C-alpha cells in the first residue's frame, strides 16, 4: 500500500437498514475514496444480534460478532459507527467507545437528543470526536451547515419537516382525501411506516430531532422533555379539505423560535400557506427552513431517511474524521454551547389558530362564541360556516384567528365546554405562516 | 486578553457591498465570536480605492489604505479576505497573499472559475488555504456541503438558479406579464440589477458559478469557456404566457450532468414544471438542486447575494480557518480533482425543446414542419396553434418536443429557414423536467 494512504479501521454497531447501508457503502466505494482522499476505509468488525440471519448484504462471516467487546475494545479500530438505534444498549456502547479513545459516528437521534452534551463532554475528555450528521434529516446536510457554514449567524427560527413517515401520510391525506388510518396502512404497505408507527405518528421522532437542531441553532441545550408535542393521529380528511379551501397545506412541523423571553420549541400539525416552499415538500422528503440575521432565510431539502441517504451522511462524517486523523488532530469543531436558556412553557407561546367546532343550529350561537373569544382578546381573521346537519340540528364552523396566546385559546376551549351551544371542538390546529 | 483566546488579524481587500458587510460583521459580532469560539477577529488593514469616500460603515481612517502592499505584505495579517471582485488586479493580489503565506477567503467567482485550480495549487505549495464559500450562492451553504457532507456521493446532476438579478426579472415577467426591458428597469430601480446589467442578464455570472459548482460536483476541472451560455434578454411576455398555460415556469438554469460520454454544462432559460420546487424559487433567491447516488435529490435554497448573506459565508470560512489555525494545521480539506474529463459540445446534448414559430396561414404548412421534424427524428409531445393574424396572413404555433439532440434541432432551424411557410422562429427554449 502507498505510504500516503491512511488505513482507517471501522467498527460497526448494527447491520439493519442503516448499518447495512454503511457496510454496502464501504464495500462498494472504498477504492473511489482511496483514490480521491488517500484514505482506505476497512470494515474491522460488525456487532449483530443474529450472525446467521439472511441479509441483503454479503459480508465475510468472520466479520460478524455478537460480542460488543470484540468491536468496542479492538485496539485496531479507530472509528465506531453506531447504527443500532434506541437508547440502550447503544448509549452504554457509545460511552465505552469514547472511553476507549475511539471516535464515534452515530445516527442515533434518541441518544443524541437525550445525552448529546454528556457524550460530547466525554469525547472532549478523551480527546476524540462525536459526529452525528445522520441523526437528523438523513443525508441532507444539516449538522454540518449549523456547526460551520452558518455559525456566524444568530438564528432566530427553525421550521422543519423532519419525519418522512408522517410527511408521506399527510401528503397522501391531502392528495387522496383519505383519513389517517387509511394513509397509515398505505405507508406501512410501502415500508414507509413501521409495523408499530408510534414513534413517528406521535411526533416523538420529530421531538428528538428538534432537540438536536434547536440545541445547535440556539447554542443552548434543549432537552426532548422540554418540547411540546402533538402527533398527527387525530387529523381528519375534513380538516385537510378546509385547509386546502383556505390556501393551506397541513404539515407536521418541528418549530423553534429564539424569543426575548426564552426558547420556544414545539412539534405539532401546522397549517402552512401553499405559497411557501415548505408546503411543497411532499412524500418522504424532509426540509429545514431557518432564519439567520446575516444569511436571511435558508431552506435545506432532501430525503430524511433510508439506508443509502443515511449512509451518505455517515460517510461524510467518516471522511471529515479521516481528514483530522491524517492531520493528527481531534476535537477540531468544539461544541459551542452558551449558558443554558429558559424554554418557554407552551402556555406562553403565541401563534395563529384554526378551530373547527360543531355548534347547535339556533340563533345566538355565534354571538356566544364571539363573546368568549373577544373577552380573551382572541381576534378572528376568517370564518367559515358549513352546511347544517338538519337531522342533528347542528352546524359546523371553522374559525381562523389572528395571533393569540396559547393560554387564551385554552381558556376559550374551557369556556366552550360550558356552553350548551358548542357541541364539540372537533379540531384545534396551529398556523405557521413564517412570520 | 485570555491566553486561550486566539487573535486573528484580517486584511480586507475592498470595502464595497461585500467588503462593507464583512467589516460590519467583524465590528458588530467580534465579541460574540470570541465568546463562542475563543477567537478574536481583528480588522488589520482595508485596501480601498478612495479613502475619503463617504461610506455607510464607520471605520477608523488609519485602517484604510490605497497601498496593496500595506495589506498583503503585513506580517501580522494571517488571513486576507478578498472582496473586490473582477479578474484583475484581484488575481494578482490573491497570488501575492498566498505567496506571502497568508490564508485566503474570497467571494470572487470570476477568479475562482478561471483560475481556481492554479490558486488552490499555489496555496498547497505555500501550505495555506483558499476558502470560497461566498463565491457561489451568497450565504447559502454550497461549497461546504459539496466538499464535506456530500463527498461520498457520485453526483449525477446539478440544476441551479444561481443569479438573483435574473431570477428577480423572470419572476416579475411571470407575475406581471411585462417584457424583459420593463422588468429590468424595475430591478435596477430596486438595486437588484446593476446600471450595466450585462454580466447578469447575459448569463455570464451564472457561467462562472456553474464552473465552480461543476468542478466540485464532478471532481474534474470545468472552465467557463467550456460552458454553453444563453442569457435572458430575448425572452418575451408571450413565451411566459404559453409556458404558464402548459404548466411551466421559465427560469435561468445552470445545468450540469455527468454523462457516460462526458460532462454536460450549460446556462440558458429553461421551462421548469410548476410542481418542481425549483419552479417555486422566486425573486432574488437562489437554489441548487443535485442528485447523488446515495443521498438522492437534495435542494439548498437561500439568498444568493447581498452584503450580509455574503458576509455570513465569508465569516463561516474565517471561523473554519480559525479552527485550523488553533490546531496548528492547514490545507486540511485537500482539493480532490480526478483526471480532467471531456466536456460535451452543445451539439451532443439532448433535452426537450419548446419552439414558437410564426408561419404562413395556408394549407400544407403543418405538413411541411412535421416532415422536417420527422426526418430529423424529433418527436412532437405537444402542439398549440394560436389565433391567426388575418392582416399578416400568419399564424403562431408552439411545439413542445420529446427528448431530441441539439444537433437535430439546429438542423431543423436551418431547414425551417429554407421553407417559405415558416416566417420566423420566434423562440427556441429548452425544457428541464428533472428527468
Query: How confident is residue A335, by pLDDT bands cut at 50, 70 and 90?
Result: low
At A414 the pLDDT is 97
Paired with A395 in beta bridges are A359, A388
Domain identity same for A272 and A126: no
Distance CA A100, CA A88 (A): 19
Question: For residue B144, is it within any domain?
Answer: no
Residue B425 DSSP SS3: strand
pLDDT of res. B55: 86
pLDDT of residue B252: 98
The predicted structure's pLDDT at residue B332:
76
CB-CB contact of A294 with A250 (8 Å): no
Please list, in sequence order, all residues whose beta carbon lies within 8 angstroms of the beta carbon of residue B125, skipping any fewer than 6 positions away: none
Residues A52 and A169 in one domain: no
B88 vs A338, higher pLDDT: B88
- Cβ contact (<8 Å) for A316 and B219? no
Q: What is the CA radius of gyration of chain A?
A: 25
Q: Please give the C-alpha separations between residue B218 and each of A19, A165, A352, B153, B299, in angstroms, as whole numbers.
A: 27, 32, 46, 10, 17
Q: Please report the pLDDT score of residue A156 as a whole number.
A: 97
A22/B contact by beta carbon, under 8 A? no
Q: Which residues pair with B422 in a beta bridge?
A: B359
Report the residue of chain B nearest A153, measured CA to CA: B312
Distance to chain A for B318, nearest Cα, Å: 10
In a domain, B220, yes or no: yes
Contact B298 A140 (CB under 8 A): yes
**Range with the largest mean pLDDT of A137-141, A407-411, B31-35:** A407-411
CA distance A278 to A249: 9
- Of A295, A327, A359, which residue constitutes the final position of a domain? A327
- Taking CA atoms, what residue in A is nearest to B275? A280
* Average pLDDT value for residue range A147-161: 94
Q: Which residues contact B284 (CB under 8 A, 6 or more apart)?
A: B164, B165, B167, B168, B192, B303, B304, B305, B306
Catalytic residue among A109, A209, A234, A274: A209
Q: Which residues of B are catalytic?
A: 209
pLDDT at B335: 65
pLDDT at A170: 98
In terms of domains, do A129 and A152 share one?
A: no
Q: What is the pLDDT of residue A336?
A: 72
DSSP run (H or E) holding B122: helix B109-125
CB-based contact, A338 to chain B, within 8 Å: yes
B404 is a domain residue: yes
B245 and B187 in a single domain? The answer is yes
Q: What angle do CA A370, A411, A251 make, to 5 degrees?
A: 85
CB-based contact (8 Å) between A129 and chain B? no
> What are the chain A neighbours of B273 within 8 Å (beta carbons)?
none
A407 and A318 within one domain: no
Does A304 contact B at CB distance below 8 Å? no
A296 and A311 in a single domain? The answer is no
For helices A164-176 and A180-189, what crossing angle results, to 10°?
120
Q: How many CA atoms lie within 13 A of A327 on its CB side?
A: 22
pLDDT of residue B287: 97
CB B289 within 8 A of CB B301: no
A421's grid cell: 351551544
Residues of B in contact with A301 (CB under 8 A): 277, 298-301
> Residue A69 and residue A421: Cα distance in Å, rounded?
66
Partner A contacted by B197 (CB < 8 A): no
Return the biggest CA–CA distance within chain A: 88
For residues B267 and B162, the answer to whether their CB atoms sit within 8 Å is no
Spatial separation of the C-alpha atoms in residues A145 and A151, rounded to whole Å: 8
**Chain B residues touching residue A296 (CB < 8 angstroms):** 139, 302-303, 306, 308-309
- Residue among B398, B295, B399, B407 nearest B351 (CA): B407
Strand pairing of B350-360 and B404-405? antiparallel
Structural domain contains residue A292: yes
Rounded distance between C-alpha atoms, residue A51 and residue B299, angstroms:
39
Q: What is the C-alpha end-to-end distance of chain B, expressed in Å?
A: 57
Q: What SS3 class is residue A264? A: strand
Task: Enter the C-alpha cell of residue A215.
Answer: 440545541
Of B297, B298, B319, the CB nearest to A152: B319
Chain A contact for B137, CB < 8 A? no
| Domain that includes residue A200, residue range | 148-303
Q: Would the CA dihedral through B101, B103, B109, B113 be positive or negative?
A: positive
Q: Do A312 and B25 touch (CB under 8 A)?
A: no
Q: Find, among B75, B100, B83, B78, the residue nearest to B47 by Cα.
A: B83
The values of phi and psi at residue B373, to 5°, are -65, -40
Does position A1 have pLDDT exceeding 50, yes or no?
no
Along the 435 residues of chain B, how does pLDDT read in single tens digits? 455 788 899 999 999 999 999 999 888 887 777 777 778 899 999 999 998 888 888 899 999 999 999 999 999 999 999 999 999 999 999 999 999 999 999 999 999 999 999 999 999 999 999 999 999 999 899 999 998 899 889 999 999 999 999 999 999 999 999 999 999 999 999 999 999 999 999 999 999 999 999 999 999 999 999 999 999 999 999 999 999 999 999 999 999 999 999 999 999 999 999 999 999 999 999 999 999 999 999 999 999 888 999 999 999 999 999 989 988 888 777 667 888 999 999 999 999 999 999 999 888 899 999 999 999 999 999 998 877 777 878 899 999 999 999 999 999 999 999 999 999 999 999 999 877
Q: How many CA atoms lie within 13 A of B28 on its CB side?
A: 17
A281 and A186 in a common domain: yes
pLDDT at B233: 97
Nearest to B68 by CA among B90, B38, B86, B52: B90
Residues of A in contact with B311 (CB under 8 A): 152, 294
**CATH number of the domain to which B43 belongs:** 3.40.50.720
At residue A178, the pLDDT reads: 92
Backbone φ, ψ for residue B432 (5° rounding)? -120, 100
B316 to chain A, any CB pair closer than 8 A? The answer is yes
Alpha-carbon gap: B114 to the closest alpha carbon of chain A (Å): 23
| Band of residue A391 on the pLDDT scale cut at 50, 70, 90 | confident
Report yes or no on A338 lying in a domain.
no
| CA–CA distance, B161 with B12 (Å, rounded to integer) | 29
The predicted pLDDT at position A329 comes to 86
CB spacing of A150 vs B312 below 8 angstroms: yes
3-state SS, residue B295? coil
For B404, half-sphere exposure in the C-beta direction (CA atoms, 13 angstrom radius) is 27
Cα A333–Cα A337–Cα A340 angle in degrees, nearest 5 = 170
The answer to whether B296 contacts A316, with C-beta atoms less than 8 Å apart, is no
The long-range contacts involving A388-393, CB below 8 angstroms and separated by at least 24 positions, are: A388/A361, A389/A361, A390/A361, A393/A360, A393/A361, A393/A362
Q: Is B341 exposed, middle or buried (0-12, 13-18, 19+ CB in 10 A)?
A: middle
Q: Is the pLDDT of residue A403 over 80?
A: yes
Strand partners, A7: A40
B167 Cβ neighbours under 8 A, 6+ residues apart:
B161, B251, B252, B281, B282, B283, B284, B285, B286
pLDDT of residue A353: 98
Residues of B in contact with A334 (CB under 8 A): 37-38
CATH number at residue B248: 3.30.360.10
B294 plus B425 within the same structural domain = no
Could you tell me if A244 and A404 are in contact, meaning their C-beta atoms sit under 8 angstroms apart? no
Residue with grid cell 410501502, as numbered in its chain:
A190
What is the distance between the alpha carbons of residues A300 and A85, in angstroms, rounded to a whole number? 24
List CB contacts (< 8 A) between A338 and chain B. Answer: 35-36
Question: Residue B69: how many CB atoms within 10 A of its CB?
Answer: 12
Cβ contact B299–A299 (<8 Å): yes
- Give chain B positions within 8 Å (CB) of A312: 150, 152-153, 292, 294-295
CB contact under 8 A, B312 and A277: no
Same domain, B187 and B290: yes
Q: Pick the residue from chain A with its C-alpha nearest to B320.
A: A148
The CA distance from A225 to the nearest CA of chain B, in Å, is 26
CB contact under 8 A, A311 and B294: yes
Q: What is the CATH number of the domain that holds B367?
A: 3.30.70.260
- Using the Cβ of B36 and the Cβ atoms of chain A, whether some distance falls under 8 Å is answered with yes
Task: Please report whether residue B117 resides in a domain.
Answer: yes
Pairing state of beta strands A103-106 and A79-82?
Answer: parallel
- List of E strands, A36-121: 39-47, 64-65, 79-82, 103-106
Find all residues with CB under 8 Å of A233, minimum gap 6, and list them. A180, A201, A202
Question: Looking at the predicted structure, is the pLDDT value of residue A261 above 60?
Answer: yes
Question: How far apart are the C-alpha atoms of A104 and A78, rounded to whole Å?
Answer: 9
Q: Would you call A35 an interface residue with chain B, using a CB distance cutoff of 8 Å?
A: yes
Residue B89 sits in the same domain as residue B26: yes
- DSSP E strand boundaries for A122-203: 130-131, 155-161
Given an 8 Å threshold on Cβ–Cβ distance, is A295 in contact with B309?
A: yes
* Cβ within 8 Å of A, B 45-104: none
Q: What is the mean pLDDT of chain A?
A: 93
C-alpha cell at A199: 414513534
Residue A25 touches chain B, beta carbons under 8 Å: yes
The answer to whether residues A229 and A277 belong to one domain is yes
| Separation in Å, CA of A339 to nearest CA in chain B | 10
Residue A149 has its nearest CB partner, among B308, B316, B336, at: B316
Of A37-41, A392-396, B153-157, B325-329, where does mean pLDDT reach its minimum? Answer: A37-41
pLDDT band (50, 70, 90) for residue A3: low
Q: Can you say how many angstroms the Cα of residue B38 is from the centroid of all Cα atoms in its chain?
A: 34
Candidates B236, B229, B223, B124; CA nearest to B178 is: B236
Q: What is the pTM of this model?
A: 0.94
Contact A141 B141 (CB under 8 A): yes
Average pLDDT over residues A99-119: 97
Task: Please tell me which residue of chain A has the smallest CA distance to B330.
Answer: A327
Tell me which residues of chain A, numbers 200 to 229, contact chain B at a CB-CB cutoff of 8 Å. Answer: 219
Instruction: For chain A, give the number of residues.
Output: 435
Residue to mutate among B149, B160, B275, B306, with most A CBs inside 10 A, is B149
Please state, in angstroms and rounded to a whole number, the distance separating the CA atoms of residues A379 and A426.
20
Q: Which residues of A touch B313 (CB under 8 A)?
A: 149, 295
Q: Which of B287, B257, B284 is nearest to B272 (CA)?
A: B287
Q: Does A27 touch chain B (CB under 8 A)?
A: no
At residue B3, the pLDDT reads: 53
Interchain CB distance below 8 Å, A299 and B294: no
Backbone angles phi, psi at A63, to 5 degrees: -75, -25
Judgement on whether residues A286 and A404 belong to the same structural domain of the protein: no
State yes or no: pLDDT of A2 exceeds 70.
Answer: no
pLDDT at B285: 96
Mean pLDDT of A106-128: 95
**Is A324 within 8 Å of chain B by CB?**
yes
Q: Which residues pair with A251 in a beta bridge?
A: A270
How is B154-179 classified by DSSP, letter by letter?
PEEEEEEE--HHHHHHHHHHHHH---
The beta strands (E) that lie in A97-247 are given as 103-106, 130-131, 155-161, 228-229
- d(CA A176, CA A141) in angstroms, rounded, equals 31
Residue A165 lies in a domain: yes
Domains identified in chain B, total number: 3
In a domain, A332, yes or no: no
Residues belonging to chain B: 435
DSSP 8-state class, residue B427: E
Amino acid at each position: 500500500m502507498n505510504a500516503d494512504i491512511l488505513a482507517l479501521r471501522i467498527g460497526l454497531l448494527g447491520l439493519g437498514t442503516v448499518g447495512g447501508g454503511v457496510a454496502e457503502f464501504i464495500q462498494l466505494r472504498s477504492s473511489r475514496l482511496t483514490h480521491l482522499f488517500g484514505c482506505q476505509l476497512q470494515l474491522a468488525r460488525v456487532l449483530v444480534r443474529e450472525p446467521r440471519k439472511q441479509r441483503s448484504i454479503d459480508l465475510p462471516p468472520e466479520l460478524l460478532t455478537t460480542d460488543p467487546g470484540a468491536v468496542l475494545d479492538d485496539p485496531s479500530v479507530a472509528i465506531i459507527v453506531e447504527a443500532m438505534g434506541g437508547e440502550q444498549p447503544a448509549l452504554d456502547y457509545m460511552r465505552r467507545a469514547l472511553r476507549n479513545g475511539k471516535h464515534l459516528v452515530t445516527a442515533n437521534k434518541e441518544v443524541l437528543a437525550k445525552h448529546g452534551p454528556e457524550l460530547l463532554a466525554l469525547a472532549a475528555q478523551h480527546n476524540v470526536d462525536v459526529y452525528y450528521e445522520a441523526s437528523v434529516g438523513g443525508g441532507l446536510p444539516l449538522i454540518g451547515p449549523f456547526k460551520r457554514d452558518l455559525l456566524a449567524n444568530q438564528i432566530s427560527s427553525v421550521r422543519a419537516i423532519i419525519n418522512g413517515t408522517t410527511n408521506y401520510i399527510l401528503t397522501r391525506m391531502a392528495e387522496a382525501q383519505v383519513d389517517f388510518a387509511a394513509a397509515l396502512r398505505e405507508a406501512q404497505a410501502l415500508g414507509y411506516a413501521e409495523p408499530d408507527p408510534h414513534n413517528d405518528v406521535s411526533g416523538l421522532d420529530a421531538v428528538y430531532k428538534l432537540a438536536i437542531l434547536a440545541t445547535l441553532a440556539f447554542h443552548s441545550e434543549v432537552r426532548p422533555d422540554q418540547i411540546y408535542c402533538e402527533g398527527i393521529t387525530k387529523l381528519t380528511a375534513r380538516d385537510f379539505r378546509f385547509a386546502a379551501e383556505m390556501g393551506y397545506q397541513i404539515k407536521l412541523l418541528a418549530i423553534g423560535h429564539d424569543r426575548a423571553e426564552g426558547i420556544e420549541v414545539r412539534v405539532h400539525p401546522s397549517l402552512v400557506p401553499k405559497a411557501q416552499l415548505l408546503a411543497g415538500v411532499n412524500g418522504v422528503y424532509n426540509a429545514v427552513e431557518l432564519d439567520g440575521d446575516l444569511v436571511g432565510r435558508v431552506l435545506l431539502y432532501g430525503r430524511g431517511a433510508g439506508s443509502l441517504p443515511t449512509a451518505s451522511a455517515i460517510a461524510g462524517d467518516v471522511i471529515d474524521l479521516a481528514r483530522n486523523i491524517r492531520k493528527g488532530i481531534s476535537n477540531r469543531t468544539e461544541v459551542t454551547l452558551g449558558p443554558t436558556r429558559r424554554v418557554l412553557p407552551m402556555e406562553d407561546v403565541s401563534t395563529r389558530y384554526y378551530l373547527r367546532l360543531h355548534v347547535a343550529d339556533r340563533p345566538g350561537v355565534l354571538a356566544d362564541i364571539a363573546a368568549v373569544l373577544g373577552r380573551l382578546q382572541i381576534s378572528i381573521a376568517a370564518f367559515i360556516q358549513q352546511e347544517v346537519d338538519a337531522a342533528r340540528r347542528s352546524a359546523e364552523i371553522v374559525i381562523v384567528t389572528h395571533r393569540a396566546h396559547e393560554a387564551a385559546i385554552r381558556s376559550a376551549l374551557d369556556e366552550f365546554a360550558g356552553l350548551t351551544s358548542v357541541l364539540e371542538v372537533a379540531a384545534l390546529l396551529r398556523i405557521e405562516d413564517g412570520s
